[in-house]
């Protein structure tokens, strides 16, 4: 979208930096060059001083000053100590933002942004609030013009390094009362930065969002989002390890990282730019050489979903169930538009069929550069799906047998319009299971309906291998109810959700999830946890299969399944009698990977095939011993047979699950 864009400056400076360093090395090497035999390197080094004449002095000085000067310019950095300095404020009561009014001026040509507006905040606690903890992040915000409540107040504490202010309000805000908080900020990019470049402020594909790490908007009240999450990094900074709330804690549903808001925004940009945002587009007009957009939300939305984009976009549109689905893309990146539109349509229809109405008038998909906070990935905002050019727009899929990742990723992001943008989880371990893993469930079900079972099988096997390969590389592994790593949320999450659907039926799973939506969509509290998810799943699971809930979600369960031999005999009535011998082990693992075998008493698929794709029988049989023989009568001549042939369970070696059937 931008070519080298604003990185060209940093690239040039890095080249200059490298040239000075290379020149310094060359000058030093020339002084150390052995012109005649000497007794050892140390004597050679001591003799260097005598060779430094005025010419060498000038050259060395230029190179050294240039290297240090450019190096100091590149590596100057903001020292963030947010976690260390402000964690204590987390327990302080805070006002909740209910509505946001914005006046946003975007200047893509100079990569600058001016943000002004106000928050309408309410005291939703049971006690008066007389102080506000306010954060604006200096590595995003260049200058603060206004940052104060519309009430007599005084500044009682300030920390410039983290943009923190504690503001005392002269008249405490009583429970149920509201307060306006005004702000006027600028984010400018006068030069370049290596460690904190404002890459979101691109010339083409500018992205300004709200309440996430790297905030552009001010934050009222402590948020855990900017904290260091990796315990290894926390140890390096002398911080204690995180101790998240468990999902079955009695107080688990009391807190959420997010809050529900409405907004009204006036956004202006350069004349050649199109602005994209969540909410409804009320009006577009031009004035004084700029283009203005008025956006407004008619449905409350999650605060982290407030974001604005500006780019030199082309637009394509499709109507789905009376709604507009639009894709905003760089004119040269039109390769995958049909895949995006078909994925959005299929996922939207699936979501409405199983989880309830889509709450917005339309859906927008917008392209952004592959840097900044999106960083090569995708992000779903309410009614808006932001996707990088390298993530979805430039990946041409010419192989007809390849998995259509553009289609499948679109279905996942569309599912977030229910999971994450309606159902907002509690701030506990496993919270993202209710967002990412449930979106993966929609992804794999829509893929199977639209692309077929064979494609979905390849996708699931990829997810299985990704999970197995990454075991032990993250923090100690935990059961799915407490999952936070991507290998669990996405890879293993796909496997366990599909497995449950295979055993109890997709409609039963969706009925449980629909009740979760009915109970918790738009909830102001309590907020759902994985304990609520398991409660609903247990309600639709037969007693004979209840062990699956523990195996899939509450423990780390693996299998070693193998088809050891298979034979057949032709019967007098023309049918074929087959005998299949299998070996089956069931293991439980702890977080460090230590495994122990447990008794097996599971229902597992046993299948017989006439050829690669023609199934003669595929049925779940009870396996209650480590070795079992099955007698199966089929109508056609068997070619292969196996155990768990479609990789429903987490089996570390799927290559030995099928075996050729030989004639007796």
Q: Would you state the structure tokens that stand for residue 289, as one six-digit string?
A: 């050489």
Q: Are 263 and 100 in contact (CB under 8 A)?
A: yes
Does pLDDT of 257 surpass 90?
A: no
Band of pLDDT at residue 191, cut at 50, 70 and 90: low
Give the HSE-up count for residue 32: Cα atoms under 13 Å, Cβ half-sphere: 11
pLDDT value at position 467? Answer: 96
The answer for residues whose C-beta is within 8 angstroms of residue 544's C-beta and 6 or more apart is 603
Could you give the C-alpha distances from 225 to 25, 212, 571, in angstroms and in order?
Answer: 44, 7, 67
Does pLDDT of 236 surpass 80?
A: no
Band of pLDDT at residue 247, cut at 50, 70 and 90: confident
Average pLDDT over residues 1-7: 54
Angstrom distance (rounded) from CA 162 to CA 580? 67
What DSSP character marks residue 419?
Answer: B
Does pLDDT of 523 surpass 50?
A: yes
Could you give the C-alpha distances from 466 to 280, 288, 551, in angstroms and in order?
Answer: 39, 54, 20
**Lowest model confidence (mean pLDDT) among 383-392, 407-416, 526-535:** 383-392
Average pLDDT over residues 265-287: 96
Q: Are 366 and 380 in contact (CB under 8 A)?
A: no
pLDDT value at position 90? Answer: 76
The answer for residues whose C-beta is within 8 angstroms of residue 567's C-beta and 6 or more apart is 578, 579, 661, 662, 663, 664
What is the rounded (10 degree) CA torsion for 196, 202, 203, 204? 160
Average pLDDT over residues 468-475: 82
Query: SS3 of 357, please?
Result: coil
Does pLDDT of 622 surpass 70?
A: yes
Beta bridge partners of 388: 368
Q: Are 283 and 264 in contact (CB under 8 A)?
A: no
Angstrom distance (rounded) from CA 293 to CA 59? 57
Give the HSE-up count for residue 138: Cα atoms under 13 Å, Cβ half-sphere: 14
Query: SS3 of 584, please?
Result: strand
**Lowest model confidence (mean pLDDT) among 110-124, 130-144, 149-163, 432-446:** 130-144
pLDDT value at position 376? Answer: 57
Rg (CA), the chain: 30
What DSSP character marks residue 272?
Answer: T
Does pLDDT of 511 surpass 50?
A: yes
Band of pLDDT at residue 66, cut at 50, 70 and 90: low
DSSP assignment of 180-211: EEEEEEEE--SS--SSS--TTS-SSSEEEESS
**Lowest model confidence (mean pLDDT) among 193-207, 310-324, 427-441:** 193-207
Count of residues in the chain: 664
Angstrom distance (rounded) from CA 464 to CA 486? 13
Tell me what the pLDDT averaged over the chain comes to: 86
Does pLDDT of 195 surpass 50?
A: no
Angstrom distance (rounded) from CA 132 to CA 167? 5
Could you give the C-alpha distances from 366 to 91, 106, 217, 327, 358, in angstroms and in order?
Answer: 38, 17, 21, 6, 19
pLDDT value at position 69? Answer: 54
* Percentage of the chain exceeding pLDDT 90: 64
Q: Are 517 and 423 in contact (CB under 8 A)?
A: yes
Band of pLDDT at residue 489, cut at 50, 70 and 90: very high
537: enclosing H helix or E strand = helix 530-539
pLDDT value at position 18? Answer: 63
pLDDT tens, residue by residue, 354-381 = 999 999 989 999 999 987 666 557 899 9
8: enclosing H helix or E strand = helix 7-32
Average pLDDT over residues 140-159: 90
CA-wise closest residue to 435 among 456, 463, 416: 416
């Amino acid at each position: 979208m931008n070519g080298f864009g604003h990185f060209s400056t940093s690239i040039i400076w890095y080249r200059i930096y490298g040239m000075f360093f290379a020149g310094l090395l060359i000058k030093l090497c020339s002084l150390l060059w052995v012109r005649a035999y000497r007794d050892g390197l140390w004597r050679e080094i001591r003799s260097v001083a005598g060779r430094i004449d005025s010419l060498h002095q000038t050259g060395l000085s230029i190179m050294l000053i240039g290297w240090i000067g450019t190096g100091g310019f590149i590596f100057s950095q903001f020292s963030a100590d947010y976690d260390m300095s402000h964690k204590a404020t987390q327990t302080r009561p805070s006002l909740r933002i209910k509505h946001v009014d914005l006046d946003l001026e975007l200047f893509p040509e100079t990569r600058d942004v001016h943000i002004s507006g106000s928050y309408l905040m309410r005291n939703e606690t049971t006690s008066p609030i007389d102080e506000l903890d306010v954060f604006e992040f200096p590595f995003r915000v260049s200058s603060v013009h206004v940052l104060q409540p519309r009430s007599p107040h005084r500044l009682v504490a300030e920390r410039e390094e983290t943009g923190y202010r504690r503001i005392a309000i002269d008249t405490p805000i009583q429970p149920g009362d509201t307060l306006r908080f005004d702000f006027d900020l600028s984010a400018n990019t006068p030069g370049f930065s290596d460690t904190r470049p404002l890459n979101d402020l691109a010339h083409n594909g500018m992205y300004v969002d709200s309440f996430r790490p790297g905030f552009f908007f001010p934050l009222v009240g402590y948020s855990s989002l900017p904290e260091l999450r990796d315990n290894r990094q926390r140890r390096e900074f002398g911080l204690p390890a995180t101790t998240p709330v468990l999902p079955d804690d009695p107080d688990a549903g009391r807190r959420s990282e997010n809050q529900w808001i409405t907004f009204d925004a006036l956004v202006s940009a350069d004349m050649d730019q199109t602005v994209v945002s969540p909410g409804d587009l009320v009006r577009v007009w031009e004035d004084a050489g700029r283009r203005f957009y008025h956006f407004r939300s008619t449905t409350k939305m999650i605060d982290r979903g407030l974001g604005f984009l500006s780019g030199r976009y082309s637009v394509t549109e499709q109507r789905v169930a009376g709604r507009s689905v639009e894709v905003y893309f760089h004119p040269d990146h039109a390769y995958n538009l049909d895949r995006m539109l078909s994925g959005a349509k299929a996922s939207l229809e699936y979501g409405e069929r199983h989880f309830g109405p889509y709450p917005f008038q339309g859906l927008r998909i917008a392209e952004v550069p592959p840097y900044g906070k999106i960083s090569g990935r995708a992000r779903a905002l309410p009614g808006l799906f932001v996707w990088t050019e390298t993530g979805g727009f430039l990946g041409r899929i010419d192989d007809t047998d390849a998995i259509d990742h553009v289609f499948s990723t679109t279905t996942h992001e569309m599912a977030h319009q229910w999971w994450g943008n309606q159902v907002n989880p509690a701030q506990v371990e496993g919270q993202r299971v209710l967002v990412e893993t449930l979106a993966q469930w929609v992804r794999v079900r829509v893929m199977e309906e639209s692309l077929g079972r064979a494609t979905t099988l390849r996708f699931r096997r990829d997810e299985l291998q990704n999970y197995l390969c990454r075991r032990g590389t993250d923090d100690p592994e935990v059961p799915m109810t407490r999952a936070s790593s991507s290998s669990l949320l996405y890879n293993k999450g796909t496997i366990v959700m599909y497995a449950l659907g295979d055993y109890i039926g997709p409609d039963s799973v969706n009925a449980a999830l629909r009740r979760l939506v009915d109970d918790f969509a738009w909830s102001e509290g309590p907020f759902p946890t994985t304990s609520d998810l398991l409660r609903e799943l247990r309600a639709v699971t037969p007693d004979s299969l209840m062990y699956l809930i523990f195996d899939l979600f509450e423990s780390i369960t693996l299998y070693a399944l193998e088809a050891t031999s298979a034979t057949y005999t032709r019967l007098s009535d023309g049918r074929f009698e087959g005998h299949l011998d299998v070996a089956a082990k069931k293991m439980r693992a702890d977080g460090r990977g230590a495994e122990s075998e447990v008794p097996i008493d599971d229902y597992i698929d046993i299948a017989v095939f006439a050829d690669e794709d023609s199934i003669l029988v595929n049925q779940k049989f009870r396996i209650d011993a480590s070795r079992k023989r099955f007698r199966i009568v089929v109508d056609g001549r068997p070619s292969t047979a196996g155990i768990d042939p479609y990789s429903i369970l987490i089996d570390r070696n799927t290559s030995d699950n099928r075996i050729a059937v030989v004639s007796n």
